[in-house]
């Protein structure tokens, strides 16, 4: 059993857990992910590793409550335990010296882009980072990103904090005035697609991370398949990072919405169970 050593509420529906998992912490690298399960009846949830501490033997995960499983996960408290916590899975990020790199985190995507940004910065790259969210209350890990970036830009959709607009607005300004060698973007599919479309015309290497629907995380079930160029890849073993210019974004978005109806029903059932007796559904 994997104990929750720390719980932190980063926003109204965004939680941070620090999990005791010494064997995973020994081998974890930026870009990799874990799959967890609350109990024997719970589904498997893939989450990219936000941080790790080899000395403490812990893995940090950050998640947004968007469905029944993450809703139930968010109800756990410090010192409670998870049944399964498997990893590290997937390929680690290709950390090297590239020159000037732009790292972009949209929404909860700030969490997985953080260790990549840190390692790229430690490798000697000049790192310009952009983090964005719908509003100020949804901005996470600003201070952490600031510490590992040469420059940090913050943007919100509603203009309540930082610049008003989207991360692509800031990216457009940067690449119009700077020679950029690589872009790393992690966040909603539409955001990563927009970033990739913008950099494709300029020939800038772009890496994205796909958190696809997964079951086993070993490439056997095929649930996380994505189109990359002329090939079919599995996000769990071939990724989760891919060339953003090669991803078939239409297929990726379509597959991400496959179970929206079922997710809504499950979440409504969870809300119903939380009502007081006699409250009805």
Residue 240 near residue 33 (C-beta atoms within 8 A): yes
Q: pLDDT tens string for the chain (281 positions)?
A: 799 999 999 988 999 999 999 999 999 999 999 999 999 988 899 999 999 999 999 999 999 998 888 999 999 999 999 999 999 999 999 999 999 999 999 999 999 999 999 999 999 999 999 999 999 999 999 999 999 999 999 999 999 999 999 999 999 999 999 999 999 999 999 999 999 999 999 999 999 999 877 777 777 887 788 889 989 998 889 989 999 999 988 877 776 666 566 666 666 666 665 544 444 44
What domains are defined for the chain? Answer: 2-89 (2.40.30.10), 100-209 (3.40.50.80)
Query: Measuring CA to CA, how many Å separate 85 from each of 10, 53, 78, 239, 263?
Result: 22, 16, 16, 19, 22
- How far is Cα 102 from Cα 151, in angstroms, rounded to an integer? 10
Assessment of whether the complete model's pTM goes beyond 0.85:
yes
Query: Measuring CA to CA, how many Å separate 10 from each of 108, 111, 159, 214?
Result: 10, 11, 19, 25
- pLDDT tens per residue, range 106-124: 999 999 999 999 999 999 9
Residue 60 dihedral angles phi and psi, to the nearest 5°: -105, 130
**Strand, coil or helix: 37:** strand
């Amino acid at each position: 059993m994997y104990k929750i050593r720390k719980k932190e509420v980063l926003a109204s529906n965004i939680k941070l857990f620090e999990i005791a998992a010494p064997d995973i912490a020994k081998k974890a690298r930026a870009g990799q992910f874990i799959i967890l399960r609350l109990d024997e009846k719970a589904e498997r949830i893939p989450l990219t590793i936000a941080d790790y501490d080899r000395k403490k033997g812990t893995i940090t995960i950050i998640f947004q409550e968007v469905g029944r499983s993450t809703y139930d996960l968010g109800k756990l408290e410090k010192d409670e335990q998870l049944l399964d916590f498997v990893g590290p899975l997937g390929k680690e990020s290709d950390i090297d010296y590239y020159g000037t790199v732009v790292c972009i985190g949209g929404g909860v995507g700030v969490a997985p882009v953080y260790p990549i940004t840190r390692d790229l910065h430690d490798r000697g790259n000049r790192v310009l980072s952009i983090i964005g969210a719908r509003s100020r209350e949804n901005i996470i890990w600003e201070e952490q990103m600031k510490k590992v970036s040469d420059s940090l830009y913050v943007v919100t959709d509603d203009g309540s904090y930082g610049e008003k607009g989207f991360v692509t607005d800031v990216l457009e300004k940067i690449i119009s005035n700077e020679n950029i060698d690589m872009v790393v973007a992690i966040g909603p599919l539409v955001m990563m697609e927009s970033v990739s479309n913008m950099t494709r015309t300029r020939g800038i290497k772009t890496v994205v991370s796909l958190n696809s629907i997964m079951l086993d995380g070993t490439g056997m079930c095929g649930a996380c398949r994505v189109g990359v160029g002329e090939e079919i890849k599995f996000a769990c073993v071939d990724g989760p990072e891919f060339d953003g210019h090669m991803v078939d974004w239409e297929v990726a978005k379509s597959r991400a919405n496959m179970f929206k109806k079922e997710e809504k029903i499950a979440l409504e059932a969870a809300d119903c169970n939380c009502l007081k007796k006699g409250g009805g559904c």
